[in-house]
A and B are shown apart, each in its own frame.
Chain A
Amino acid sequence: EVQLVESGGGLVQPGGSLRLSCAASGFTSSSYWMSWVRQAPGKGLEWVANIKQDGSEEYYVDSVKGRFTISRDNAKNSLYLQMNSLRADDTAVYYCARQRGSGSLDYWGQGTLVTVSS
């Protein structure tokens, strides 16, 4: 059974940092692109970043470029999102998701809440 489990969310002050993790099981994570998607309270879905199978390519939504870094450790079947210089508008539930070749996201974690507030 494919499972994705996020962790690392919490309350952080504006300008602070947080590192999210996503533990994958039930499939060979090194065979898939992986994505992070976020959802602000009461709002829609926003793709944040994705990373190629071997970590050689990574892409970001403009609003997080230069502040967030996506990475992966295939030996540990884990995906990460390092978030720096956090702002109030980064407050959201962050989901990790497995990305198919078509770009669709076929498995999602349960999400981890990040709250940026003083």
Chain B
Amino acid sequence: EIVLTQSPGTLSLSPGERATLSCRASQSVSSSYLAWYQQKPGQAPRLLIYAASTRATGIPDRFSGSGSGTDFTLTISRLEPEDFAVYYCQQYGSSLTFGGGTKVEIK
């Protein structure tokens, strides 16, 4: 099973700042099979990025994904108030697994 480790666990930032979230895999993941999700309290997760760098429908361009192999990154260029949430990475190669999540909170 591929284990995904997200860091940091919590990111404290102010609106307008840049957020950089990391997702590291225990073995190589095909870029085609790496996704990112946003989840707000009491809501279902929402797909942000698939295939490591492709934004899902309706996702603003301040969200971007990059990386390959075992290291992937989600970047939010300028945090909006609605972006404070928990973010998960997910892979689908060997089975399907999620990372533990990164909480982006208001500083």
Q: CB within 8 Å of B: which residues of A?
A: 35, 37, 44-47, 50, 59, 61-62, 95, 100, 102-106, 108-111
Kindly state the separation between the CA atoms of A88 and B33 in the bound complex, as whole angstroms.
32
Inter-subunit contact A102/B47 (CB<8 Å): no
Closest Cβ of chain B to A39, distance in Å, is 9
By the criterion CB–CB under 8 Å, are B44 and A108 in contact? yes
Please tell me if the beta carbons of B47 and A105 are within 8 angstroms of each other in the complex: yes
Query: Interface size bucket, B side?
Result: 20 to 34
Q: In the docked arrangement, what's the CA distance between A102 and B46, Å? A: 16
CB pair B33–A102 under 8 Å, yes or no, is yes
Q: A44-B100, A104-B92, A105-B35 are in contact. Are A110 and B44 (CB under 8 A)?
A: yes
Contact B50 A45 (CB under 8 A): no
**In the complex, which residues of chain B have a beta carbon less than 8 angstroms from the beta carbon of A59?**
95-96
Task: Name which of B32, B39, B90, B92 has the most chain A CB atoms within 10 A of its CB.
Answer: B92
